[in-house]
Amino acid sequence: MLTRRQLIKSAGLFGLLGSGLSLKTIAAGNSEKKRVVRFAHLTDVHMEPELNAPAGLAKCLHHLQSQKDQPSFVMSGGDCIFDALHQTKNRVELQWNIWQNIFRQDNTLPIEHCIGNHDCWGFGQKEDPLYGKKYAMEKMQLTMPYRSFNNGGWHFIILDSIQPKADGTWYTCLLDDAQFSWLQQDLAATPLSVPIIVVSHAPLVSAATVVTDNKFKDGEGYVIGVGNMHMDSPKIIELFDQYPNIKLCLSGHIHLHERVLYNGVTYISNGAVSGNWWKGMRYKTDNGYALVNLYDDGSFDDEYVSYGWNA
Ligand SMILES: [Zn+2]
């Protein structure tokens, strides 16, 4: 014999089936997640006049904008230009001009920027007002090298991984004290019900960084350089551990596509538009970009897409 409860349930079910809804829809009910943001993550373009790089970026932009399901904006992960660290101002300007012209001609989507190490100019030419990060910030139209904003119910945090060494000659990957306190405050001010995505140029956590490029040294084990991954990862992870609403961290820099799940946070490095600096693939990672979907329940997906570039 059916109970009253079961009877109502089955009547409801048949009523719904009669109305044309599939069983799958009914099973999901109102809890079906809704996509709230879709964007393209492009990182490590390394623009230069050589190696057909301008045509490569144009092809990539056309590829992502001709997706049937188009992203709503481009998240640039840094290292837009091949290199500014050791180049003359003319050379740096030339690379930025190519970058900007291509984006003007071949892209209609809004763009958000994250600063990369190769975007920072001429550590060593301190007298120039555009020295260091200011050049990149001007080209990216940023007033601060790090920031946060909300989009589609998600909180985006864009970090600045790149800090000059004390002698000003080279970079290290970390958050300086001012940025770390800003991050602490920004996280504390974000309600726990709001899912958070963090974007940085250098990975906060990476496994591929450790196992590529023959970093094993006899007697020492795997040794990674100061420029490969954030040096302050333990401190950042300790902070992240307090916020279960941090869901996804995206980076570039290593030109490899990898995904690491650690303490409930997924860390993804999304390859490189330039692949192996426009000379082909880097290990098994092809020239590509990622399409990222964010959902209202705090879940996400990230698909790395090759745009068919032949070096
Ligand atoms: Zn980089």
pLDDT in tens, 257-296: 999 999 999 999 999 999 999 999 999 999 999 999 999 9
Does 270 reside within a domain? yes
Q: How far is the CA of 1 from the centre of ligand 1 (A)?
A: 68
d(CA 42, CA 21) in angstroms, rounded, equals 39
* Residue 233 banded pLDDT, cuts 50, 70, 90: very high
Residue 146 and residue 282 share a domain: yes
Does 311 reside within a domain? no
Does 8 reside within a domain? yes
Q: How far is the CA of 216 from the centre of ligand 1 (A)?
A: 22
Provide, rounded to the nearest whole percent, the portion of the chain with pLDDT above 70.
89
pLDDT number for residue 245:
98
Q: How far is the CA of 176 from the centre of ligand 1 (A)?
A: 18
Q: How far is the CA of 158 from the centre of ligand 1 (A)?
A: 15
Residue 237 and residue 213 share a domain: yes
We report the CATH number of the domain holding residue 230 as 3.60.21.10
Residue 260 and residue 199 share a domain: yes
Q: What is the pLDDT of residues 71-81, one digit of tens each?
A: 999 999 999 99
Question: Counting every residue, how long is the chain?
Answer: 311
Instruction: Count the domains in the chain.
Output: 2
Q: How far is CA 218 from CA 210, 212, 227, 229, in A?
A: 15, 16, 21, 21
More confidently predicted of 227 and 237: 237
Residue 13 and residue 44 share a domain: no
- 37-42: average pLDDT: 98
Q: What is the pLDDT of residues 42-66, one digit of tens each?
A: 999 999 999 999 999 999 999 999 9
Residue 226 and residue 205 share a domain: yes
Q: How far is the CA of 118 from the centre of ligand 1 (A)?
A: 6
Q: How far is the CA of 255 from the centre of ligand 1 (A)?
A: 8
Residue 108 and residue 22 share a domain: no
Q: How far is the CA of 11 from the centre of ligand 1 (A)?
A: 60
Q: CB–CB of 183/239 below 8 Å?
A: yes
Q: How far is the CA of 163 from the centre of ligand 1 (A)?
A: 12
Task: Fill in the DSSP letter of residue 282.
Answer: B
Q: How far is the CA of 114 from the centre of ligand 1 (A)?
A: 11
Q: How far is the CA of 33 from the centre of ligand 1 (A)?
A: 35
| Side chain identity, residue 112 | E
pTM, entire model: 0.89
* Residue 130 banded pLDDT, cuts 50, 70, 90: confident
Residue 52 and residue 15 share a domain: no
What's the chain's average pLDDT? Answer: 89
Q: How far is the CA of 229 from the centre of ligand 1 (A)?
A: 10
The count of other CB atoms within 10 Å of the CB of residue 122 is 18
Residue 13 and residue 93 share a domain: no
Residue 114 and residue 13 share a domain: no
Q: What is the pLDDT of residues 14-23, one digit of tens each?
A: 333 333 344 4
Residue 9 has pLDDT above 60, yes or no: no
52 Ramachandran zone, left/alpha/beta (phi>0; psi -120 to 50):
left
Q: How far is the CA of 208 from the centre of ligand 1 (A)?
A: 15
Residue 95 and residue 49 share a domain: yes
- 130-151: average pLDDT: 94
The answer to whether the Cα torsion of 89, 91, 134, 139 is positive or negative is positive
Find the farthest-apart pair of alpha carbons in the chain and give their distance in angstroms, rounded: 88
Q: How far is the CA of 140 from the centre of ligand 1 (A)?
A: 16
Burial-class residue 97 by CB neighbours within 10 Å (0-12, 13-18, 19+): middle
Residue 222 and residue 109 share a domain: yes
Q: How far is the CA of 187 from the centre of ligand 1 (A)?
A: 25
* Full residue range of the structural domain in which residue 13 is found: 1-30
Q: How far is the CA of 227 from the centre of ligand 1 (A)?
A: 8
Q: How far is the CA of 122 from the centre of ligand 1 (A)?
A: 15
pLDDT number for residue 272:
98
- 226-255: average pLDDT: 96
Does 46 reside within a domain? yes
Q: How far is the CA of 38 from the centre of ligand 1 (A)?
A: 24
Residue 140 has pLDDT above 90, yes or no: yes
Residue 294 and residue 248 share a domain: yes
Q: What is the pLDDT of residues 151-205, one digit of tens each?
A: 999 999 999 999 988 776 678 899 999 999 999 999 999 999 999 999 999 999 9
Does 164 reside within a domain? yes
Q: How far is the CA of 116 from the centre of ligand 1 (A)?
A: 5
More confidently predicted of 16 and 231: 231
| Side chain identity, residue 163 | Q
* Residue 4 banded pLDDT, cuts 50, 70, 90: very low
